[in-house]
Structure 1
């Protein structure tokens, strides 16, 4: 004769036990986003090459353009460094935003976001958190590049305060641009496709801008394109803040552009996110 291992629990008692405690409060959007930001930062230790890319690329551009082309463009490597360094910071974060979309696409393919969609928190939090976490990478690259510039003779006229304000404006701009690549990450099938597509977008935006040289040196038709390029506006604001010549209008324009990118591409990202099966 064998005894049962367990006695069936009446349904009413089971329901009573489950309802004995209050349900944990739902996390607010800020807490949920910061939690996913911390998750994104923890991923850096599994992909340290992301941090190495943040150092190698801007260092290579600064050294190459300053000493190979600086004399030809500005008749002095030192003078060109003061013009070029703030612009290369903008180009650096632009290229780094591509990793945001690639990482999102890779995790979507693994099915991780299918689990996230079933959990009771603010649904944009995984994407917003990833973008906030990427700000750490941007800051790391910016600070090291500015440090290299100081070693080479870069002396910002705006002082420490100007440099800090320039970095903050640049991070806001990078956050807005990052939403472009989250949208792209929802549309393509493979992370490699994001890299290939993004270079077709970023290189024209970067090189047909005032990052490398002033629009006054260009043909009139190209100068007109440069002056309406959002990247040029970002470079102008960052350069002006670092050298103490920025106007309120230049700064506000970059903030407006950044907000518009968040509204347009953030909305597109979330529509595509909800439609993902």
Structure 2
């Protein structure tokens, strides 16, 4: 265990140091969620007048949607960095070193978690500046950020798994483009589930993006529903563990193929 922790620490330090040298990446990738926040917030602000929408402010409803959608978008292309390391030979050098294979994947998880949490907090702050309010307070905001981190890790782990198995940029790009919009729009990111067609509600019920949103919104309510938050967070946490395990297995399979 100590070897795993030490390896995770040093591999994470390496990744975060590289990230700190390129802070513009984190800032520039915030441009798109800012557009979603302010454009969609104005375009659909009257949708709350529909009977059954369930909230008086569309911006309050939208901020969690943008937070989680940004996490999906940010992490879906994590496999591109893995392909870069394969092509440079960096990954192969780590695989012949004493560092544990789990530590290599853990470092990627921590890096993605830090990036996602930072951007989520910025979006939440921008939403507040635009007029959104979070009655659930700091605890509700913390739950929303945690849910964005979990769904981000799921997508990052799947992207890394794909990179290790197919080792092709075009496949990753094509699959992510194909999945990004369905994952977002077949969820409760922008529309209350009660107003969706029946088949969309069924899809949203099994969509991890909706799990993250439902948990976050339950915690952000004026009277937080912690039971609902836990019920939606539990399957997302389980899925996170499964996908990270799959990424570690794929790394070992990659090593055997070399």
Superposition TM-score tier, normalisation by shorter sequence? 0.7 to 0.9
Q: Give 1:256-275 correspondences, 5 Å limit.
A: 256-264=235-243, 266-267=245-246, 268-275=249-256
Once the two structures are TM-superposed, the CA of residue 98 in structure 1 deviates from its matched residue by 2.0
The answer on whether the counterparts of 2:76 and 2:155 sit within 8 Å (CA) in structure 1 is no
Counterpart for residue 217 of structure 2: 239
Distance 2:190 2:75 in 1: 20
| 1:42 paired to 2:17 | yes
Counterpart for residue 186 of structure 1: 164
| 1:108 paired to 2:86 | yes
Counterpart for residue 12 of structure 1: none
Q: Give 1:205-244 correspondences, 5 Å limit.
A: 205-243=183-221, 244=223
Secondary structure at the residue paired with 2:190?
coil
Q: Which has the larger radius of gyration?
A: 1
The answer on whether the counterparts of 1:54 and 1:138 sit within 8 Å (CA) in structure 2 is no
Is the alpha carbon distance of 1:273 and 1:49 closer, same or farther for their aligned partners in structure 2, counting shifts above 3 Å? farther
Aligned length: 251
Unaligned runs of 5+ in 1: 1-25
My pick for the range that moved more, 143-152 or 227-236, is: 227-236
Residue 95 of structure 1 is aligned with which of 67, 73, 90? Answer: 73
TM-score (norm 2): 0.87
CA displacement, residues 156-214 of structure 1 (integer Å, 9 cap, x when unaligned): 11012221232123323322332111111112333343222112112101111110001
Distance 1:261 1:120 in 2: 26
Unaligned runs of 5+ in 2: none
Distance 2:28 2:150 in 1: 21
The answer on whether the counterparts of 2:71 and 2:151 sit within 8 Å (CA) in structure 1 is no
Counterpart for residue 66 of structure 1: 41
The answer on whether the counterparts of 1:58 and 1:141 sit within 8 Å (CA) in structure 2 is no
CA displacement, residues 128-156 of structure 1 (integer Å, 9 cap, x when unaligned): 10220122211221111011111111111
Once the two structures are TM-superposed, the CA of residue 41 in structure 1 deviates from its matched residue by 1.4
CA RMSD of aligned residues (A): 2.3
Distance 1:138 1:241 in 2: 19
